[in-house]
Amino acid sequence: MALIAPSLLSANFLQLQADCDMLNNSKADWFHLDIMDGRFVPNISFGPMFVDFFRKSTTKFCDVHLMIEEPERYAEAFKKAGADNLTVHWEACKHLHRNIQQIKGLGMKAGVAINPHTPVEALKDVLADIDLVCMMSVNPGFGGQAFIPHTINKIIRLREMIDEQSLDVKIEIDGGVNLANAKSIIDAGADVLVAGSTVFNAANPTDVIAQLKQIV
């Protein structure tokens, strides 16, 4: 059964407490928090202060996804804000292994995200050092995009790589996840589903989360 991680990027920022309460009372497993700097991706979201607000609003796992340049400059701030997992982008890190060591040294779980054009083989030298791979199934920066079908093949290959080494690394899929494609994503080998607009644009978000959680 996959973990469900609603993305707060799609929440109503005028009703954040209500949306946090909804998630706390739902079957959601994680809070997924997207940090964007306007440099690595063409959008700006929020920073450590907002993560601190979310942390104080939930006891659930806070999964922080840094879509930013120079993530090493902010890792400590996100640790202080309450991040449980900190994910950096393969494409944004000149010294990726050092970034992973920094995150681990701060006491967080470490994730690495890859964009749609990046092959999963790019992770082979760090796969044993991380806890999670966040596979982007849309081009990062904006919610509401359509799932890129080729992602299924990438999930299958990554699952093979993880299993070949008997590693405890979760595969997280971020972008375009919905009730229609969730089963094929899970069947391919995914462990965590990030769902933003699918959840928060629904008439009954709690029910959508429950339906996603029931897919096996």
Q: What is the CATH number of the domain that holds 150?
A: 3.20.20.70
| pTM of the complete model beyond 0.85 | yes
Q: pLDDT tens across 73-109, in order?
A: 999 999 999 999 999 999 999 999 999 999 999 999 9
Statement: residue 142 has pLDDT above 80: no
Query: Is 34 tagged catalytic?
Result: yes
Identify which of 67, 74, 106 has the alpha carbon closest to the alpha carbon of residue 90: 67
Q: How much is the pLDDT for 67? A: 97
> Of the residues 19, 63, 174, 191, which is catalytic?
174
Query: Is 187 tagged catalytic?
Result: no
The single residue listed with the structure tokens 């959601």 is 28
Q: pLDDT tens across 124-137, in order?
A: 999 999 999 999 99
Q: How much is the pLDDT for 216? A: 75
Task: Give dist(CA 176, CA 201) in Å, integer.
Answer: 13
For the chain, how many structural domains are there in total? 1
Q: How much is the pLDDT for 140? A: 80
Task: Give dist(CA 74, CA 162) in Å, integer.
Answer: 29
Q: pLDDT tens across 33-64, in order?
A: 999 999 999 899 999 999 999 999 999 999 99
Residue ranges making up the domain that contains 86: 3-214
Residues in CB range of 167: below 8 A, 6 or more apart: 127, 128
> Of the residues 34, 37, 131, 191, which is catalytic?
34
Statement: residue 141 has pLDDT above 90: no
